[in-house]
Amino acid sequence: MAATPLDAEVGIVGTGTTGSMLSWQLARRGVGALAFEQFAPGHDRGAVGGETRLFRLAYAEGAQYVPLLRDSLRLWRELEAESGADILTQCGGLAIGDPAAEYLAGLIDSVHRTGVAVEVLSKGEAAQRYPQHRLRDGEVAVLDEQAGFLRCEQAVLSATRVAERLGARVLRYTEVTDIVEDADNVQLRTPERTYRVGQVVVCAGAWASRFLPERLAAAVDPRRVLLTWFGTENIDDYRPERFPIFIHHGGTAHIYGTPTVDDVMVKVAGAVVSHSVPDPAAVDRRHSSAEVCTIADAVRRMLPGLHPHPLRTDAFTDLYTSDGHPLVGRVGAGRVVLATGHSGRGFKFATGLAAVVADLLTGTADPRYEFMSPHRLA
Ligand SMILES: Cc1cc2nc3c(=O)[nH]c(=O)nc-3n(C[C@H](O)[C@H](O)[C@H](O)COP(=O)(O)OP(=O)(O)OC[C@H]3O[C@@H](n4cnc5c(N)ncnc54)[C@H](O)[C@@H]3O)c2cc1C
């Protein structure tokens, strides 16, 4: 009896950040991709939303990410060229803090290992060039000129659009309820019907736990991550030309943010620590009064030119792993690939990571990213 033809060579569960970039990367390689999205690409209920995500090359979180970040930078520009959309603004980025403390010491070590160009500004120099920030004695500001911000919704929509133009199929409002690996294919069950694909990639973000082997599901948690926007009387001082993206580890508080993209508000977040949520679909999107007070207090101390009363608050979700590194690699009998667990950091390298996963699916595993293997958490 002849085998039933597959619905696609590769199935993608989730068409958010990673899934949209992977659809594009596979379609570019001529690989037939069928992507599923429980909502529609660009929606604001997962890790995408709130207009911007930071992009940085000077990377305190580990020098091993820098080749991926360099590839991602090139691919963001290629996505812009193929889609015609404006996605990445390289307005520079400041990392502010005590150079002896963990974050900046890690960043300085990372740039020494990778050759990423930075400029170190003393407190006085930073006050002259970036008076918007208030530094404490002993703090410095490290300027990464290649840093900037990504327009997150635009990025996801653009990748999806180009992928579909190149032949990928994206099924909107289609939830995958089960993944069943057989000897020569994988079944993807949805409420309407079952699809059969050669391999599947789980890009389900905060919802991915249900598709993980038990030992991995125990090593991840979906978290609620808060964003907040503030106003000012001097919005000109907070435009990309004058106000790079920033991360400020200020002793008692850690904040990060982006310049204004709407000429009204400046995004500042981070002071309120993300926390685990039982169900990403039911996340509370409002800040509590205590959460508002925490971020307002940090803004008052560290960004005195902003009014410390938020104009807008929102909450999104991401999947966090126990060691902060993503889960990327094959599990099960080998037809299921994970590309999730980006732990609050995964937007900036989504294009590069999608290329790594596309190469893995077509036969070439990149040994530089072995540190992301799901087997490390076994
Ligand atoms: C508030 C916030 C700020 C952040 N800031 C930064 C930053 O500045 N820089 C940075 O690099 N990173 C940042 N991150 C992290 C980054 O945004 C995430 O790591 C990354 O976007 C995660 O991508 P993902 O594809 O795993 O998840 P998502 O983009 O959420 O995509 C998962 C998709 O899967 C879909 N899905 C889930 N289950 C199913 C199913 N069963 N069937 C069909 N579809 C399904 C979901 O609907 C969703 O669309 C931030 C994250 C948050 C939440």
CA dist., res. 117 & res. 190, Å (int): 48
221 lines ligand 1 (CB under 6 A): no
**Tens of pLDDT along 14-37?**
999 999 999 999 999 999 999 999
DSSP state of 28: H
347 lines ligand 1 (CB under 6 A): yes
Average of per-residue pLDDT values in the chain: 97
Q: What is the DSSP string of 326-372?
A: -EEEEETTTTEEEEE--TT--STTHHHHHHHHHHHHTT---GGGGGG
- Tell which atom from ligand 1 comes closest to the C-alpha of 314: 1
Q: What is residue 362's predicted lDDT score, i.e. its pLDDT?
A: 96
Distances from the Cα of 121 to the Cα of 81, 100, 118, 126, 181, angstroms: 34, 15, 10, 6, 54
> Is it the case that residue 123 has pLDDT exceeding 60?
yes
Tokens describing residue 27: 């379609």
> Is it the case that residue 1 has pLDDT exceeding 70?
no
**What's the whole-number mean pLDDT along residues 239-261?**
96
CA dist., res. 224 & res. 241, Å (int): 31
Q: What structural domains and CATH numbers belong to the chain?
A: 8-48+153-219+323-377 (3.50.50.60), 90-148+221-321 (3.30.9.10)
Q: What is residue 2's predicted lDDT score, i.e. its pLDDT?
A: 57
Distance 134 CA to ligand 1 centre (A): 32
CA dist., res. 10 & res. 5, Å (int): 13
Going by pLDDT thresholds of 50, 70 and 90, the confidence category of residue 252 is: confident
Q: What is residue 50's predicted lDDT score, i.e. its pLDDT?
A: 98
**What's the whole-number mean pLDDT along residues 204-214?**
97
Q: 20, 22, 43, 48: which to mutate for ligand 1, most atoms within 8 A of CB?
A: 48
227 lines ligand 1 (CB under 6 A): yes
**Tens of pLDDT along 66-120?**
999 999 999 999 999 999 999 999 999 999 999 999 999 999 999 999 999 999 9
**What's the whole-number mean pLDDT along residues 142-167?**
98
> Is it the case that residue 3 has pLDDT exceeding 90?
no
Q: Which helix (H) or strand (E) holds 178?
A: strand 178-181
CB atoms within 10 A of CB 244: 26
End-to-end CA distance of the chain: 40
Say if residues 154 and 85 touch (Cβ distance below 8 Å).
yes
Distance 30 CA to ligand 1 centre (A): 25
> Is it the case that residue 220 has pLDDT exceeding 80?
yes
Q: What is residue 345's predicted lDDT score, i.e. its pLDDT?
A: 97
